[in-house]
Every structure is written in C-alpha cells, then in structure tokens.
Structure 1
C-alpha cells in the first residue's frame, strides 16, 4: 500500500470533536481532504477558510479518498457508514484504509474490521480523548488498535490531531483503553461531586476545597477541569458531552466487563448516577451536572433487585 505523493484523506462526521479534527487535517495535510456530514451546515461551521473539499455523500468520499477517518456517535453509525448499502464499500472504488476515531463497543470494532478485511479494506480503531479545546489545538490523546504495519502508515496523519498517539495492541484494543479512560473520568467526576457537596455542607467553601485538594494526592485531571470549570460555577451547557453519551460509553464498559467476567460495581454505580442525571432535568447538558443529583439527594437510580434464591 504505497502512495505516489501522499494519500487523499476523507473525513466523515463534523460534530463537536470531528469538526475541529477535520479542520486540523485540512490545514496540515498537503493533499486533498474531502469532508462529509449529514448536516450541510456542519461543513461551513467547521471548515470555513480551509482548503477542505465538500462531499455530497459517503459514496463520494469512497470514490475520492484513500484513507477515511470517521467521527461518529457510536457503533451502529460506524457499521452503516462502513458496510451499509450506501457505505464506503458499496461501490466499485473503496478506500484503502478506514480509521475510526469514534468510541464504540470493542466487539463491534473487531467485527467491522473483520468484515472490511474481507473486502480488502484495512481498519484501525483510534478513539480520541481530552476536550473539545484539545481537539481545536490538535492536542488530543489517541489510542490505536491496529497491527504494527498499519499503525506505521496512519500515525503521521494522526499526529495532525493528536500530541499523544499510542498503539495499544491489535484491533479493538484502542477501544478497550478509551472505554477504561472514560469510565475512570465518569467515576472520578461522580466521586468529586459527592466530596464537593460534603465539604460545602461541612463548612468548607468549594473553591477553597479544590485549591487545597489540588495541592495534595487527591488532585486529578477531573478536579482541575470538570471540577473547576463546570462543577464549581455550576455551569452545564448544552452541546457539550451529555449524560446520554456517558451512558452509551458506560454501557460499552459494562458489556465488556460481562464478556470478560469482571464484576464492575463502580462502573455500574456510575451508570445509575448518570441515569438519574439524564432523567432529572439535565438531559443534553454537560455531564458534570451529576453534582446536582448529589446536592438534591436524587439518585443514584436503584440497582436491580437480586433474584430470590432458587430463581433465575
């Protein structure tokens, strides 16, 4: 798989993270960058002032791009874009490589990879971590699941959008690491929410609490970012990462835990806390709003009752 001058890049999904990632690729890549989103307005919002070319469909991306990057909501969308009736492999010309920057189930990533391989298309899962601001700076952390030879081909392109690019293992391993990363963030946010409310009710101002803990072993990325920027001012905007997205990722984590025989009790508690957040006025709003559930003594949603002895 060799390129005479450099690969043309296709990019599908220009949302909160995909838009700035594609913009960085369009600004830094020497060859064509062709972009598509189901919302025509997303192209103008993300790529105004760049050399990016607008595609009218997924099929057009397949016809024009050598390597296609995806930034999509989840596994069903990735499967449809890669393998659907009007997807990347439905026409005569197919891209040589598909790189999925989305967060999906591990089993789904491995299934898509196997089905694409049968169509002579290579696949890597490369989910991204850090914030929207990091995406705008091109400063993401990217966790890649791919064989070494494929990783070597795509790593220079991933460096357009990430300052840390880590090969985690074979296909699916990028998703394993990303899901663990996200679960730790969600669990830490939930724990910090409880302690911020506890500290305030015990007489310590929340800002003072964060300042003091940040100087000790309780410091964390969540404290310095979600704690200071969202939970302290109680600002939970729309169009950020909502509890519904948290629940999607935690669902993937718990699915993987069940498949591997791990009793992930903390992840399940977090799931129930964020279910309460989504169901009590913070649907669609930034997920650190879980602190409002603690402050109002709402949730977490109760765990399912165990079946009586001798049943199930």
Structure 2
C-alpha cells in the first residue's frame, strides 16, 4: 500500500459503513461522520484505532480525501456546502469522492463549488449492493478530473472489484443511471418469468437452473431467484431507493429527449409495491406485486 492517508468518511449506512471499514483495515487513518451519532459510535467500537466527528466539517478538517455515501442530492449538498459542511474546513489540494447515487447536475454543481476552493470533486456512484460493500466487490463509475481520479483510484480499489473513469463531472452519475435503467427491466422480466413458471405448474428452481446457463442469465437471476421463489424481501436494495434513482433517470431522460418506456412502467409498478407497504422491501419484490394481482371479473 502507498503511504497511509488521513481520510474522512461521511455516511455510514449499509454501504458506507463497510466501505469505511475497508479503508481502516488497509491502514489509512479514518475519521467518520454520520447524521445518527449512534452509528458512528458503533463503527468506532468496531474500528477502535479510528475516530468519529460531530460535523462533516470536523471530520474533514485534517483529511486529504473525503468520501461521501449519503442518500440523495440535498444530503450531498448539505454535507459539502452547508453551514457545517466539508468545504468550510477542507484544505486546498484535497479531494472529495462522492459515492452517493445522485443527479448529474448536482455532480457538476459540487465540482464547480469545490473548484473555487482548489479542491477536486469526483462523482463516483457504486453498484453491487450491501454484499458488494461488505465483500469489497463494488463496481464504481467515476466522473471528474482525470488527475484526481488517478489519485483516488488506488484507494477506491480497497472496496471495489472494478473502478472505471467515465469522463468529466457528471459522467459517473450518468453511467449509474444506465445501470439502474437496465436493472429495472431485468428485475421485472425475472418477476414475470417466475410468475409465469408458477402459473404453468413448473418447478421454478429447475427452470432457473436451466435458463440461467443460457442467454437469460443475469446477476439478478443468480442472486435473487431463491428469495423471490420463497417470497422473502426483507433484504437488499429498497424499493424506496430505487424509485429515488428512477426519478433521477426519468428527469435526465426528459432533458436528453431519451425514451425510457420500460423504466417508467416499472416505476409505476414500484409505486404499487409501496402502496402495499413494501417501500423497504428489496427491488425483487416486483414478484410479490404480481402474485397479489387479482384480475377483474
């Protein structure tokens, strides 16, 4: 490993907590901040040679690199440019890496705000879910200054299986939008296929065993079919978060004059899942929606 760095990590949710732990275990000195202090305290108990801070500004004061993994655009804006935000204390020449899935316009806004203080900002959303974060197997797509990417890439590799530079500010977020667009269609297709197999009286597991070896195979099929067949959804990536991501995708599509008919339809289906009380269910709960469907007489 290169010389250990002073790192701040903002946001210790199901993704951020494990990501910060990978940095700590690799020998970097990590200071964490979380909006819920109890989570930061618990993280420090699990990583006793590291510390927590009471504000993003305090966490970033001595950092060379600040990583962010929060919920949405307004959360990023608050922790970066708010009254107690990172930019009130971070030194010129430092770097911010934002792993939040947010809009491309926010990435460009934050990059411009940072540039005024001679700080680089990378938008670096991730894919791979909670297990990918725990196992250090995330896929990261990055936008921003190329030289800043070269500085950050070796450190991001500590919790990733693939880190790819996509272009200027916002390119990482645009790429993540493509990722979510593709996932939505895949999960709906998997739900339809399993529902069809059930209606046809087929052994759903045997069906998956054979078709997963052919052209229909996918990560979603390999990793979600068992819990879908068992009607278990108290895990994984929540419907509420997917709808947040879809809103970003659909807004960007309107700006680009790009058609997203399948994404728009699946977003409506997720709205129905939310109405069933499934906002925190995994995105594969599209199958539960289909099982609950009652055709009109």
Shift in Å, 1:86? 1.3
**Unmatched runs of 5 consecutive residues or more in structure 1:** 300-312
Which string of whole-angstrom CA distances, capped at 9 and with x for unpartnered residues, describes residues 262-310 of structure 1?
Answer: 11111101111111111112122222111111112279xxxxxxxxxxx
**Correspondent of 1:237 among 216, 234, 238:** 234
Q: Is the 8 A contact 1:67 1:95 kept in 2?
A: no
Structure 1 residues 45 and 186, CA gap change in structure 2 (3 angstroms): farther
In structure 2, the partner of 1:83 is 81
Taking the aligned partners of 2:46 and 2:190, their CA distance within structure 1 comes to 41
Q: Is the 8 A contact 2:142 2:167 kept in 1?
A: yes
Aligned-residue CA RMSD in angstroms?
Answer: 1.9
Structure 1 residues 153 and 219, CA gap change in structure 2 (3 angstroms): same
Shift in Å, 1:45? 3.6
Q: Is the 8 A contact 2:8 2:32 kept in 1?
A: yes
Instruction: Give the secondary-structure state (helix, strand or coil) at the position aligned to 1:89.
Output: helix
**Unmatched runs of 5 consecutive residues or more in structure 2:** none
In structure 2, the partner of 1:302 is none
The answer to whether structure 1 residue 23 and structure 2 residue 21 are counterparts is yes
Instruction: Give the secondary-structure state (helix, strand or coil) at the position aligned to 2:31.
Output: strand
Could you tell me the TM-score, scaled by structure 2's length?
0.93
Shift in Å, 1:218? 0.8
Could you tell me the TM-score, scaled by structure 1's length?
0.89
Taking the aligned partners of 2:30 and 2:240, their CA distance within structure 1 comes to 31
Aligned length: 293
Taking the aligned partners of 1:219 and 1:195, their CA distance within structure 2 comes to 12
Shift in Å, 1:145? 0.7
Instruction: Give the secondary-structure state (helix, strand or coil) at the position aligned to 2:183.
Output: helix
**Correspondent of 2:262 among 259, 262, 266:** 266
Taking the aligned partners of 2:120 and 2:233, their CA distance within structure 1 comes to 39
Q: Is the 8 A contact 2:22 2:159 kept in 1?
A: yes
Correspondence 1:167-206 to 2 at 5 A: 167-206=165-204
**Correspondent of 1:290 among 270, 286, 289:** 286
Correspondence 1:77-156 to 2 at 5 A: 77-91=75-89, 93=91, 96-156=94-154
Taking the aligned partners of 1:92 and 1:298, their CA distance within structure 2 comes to 56
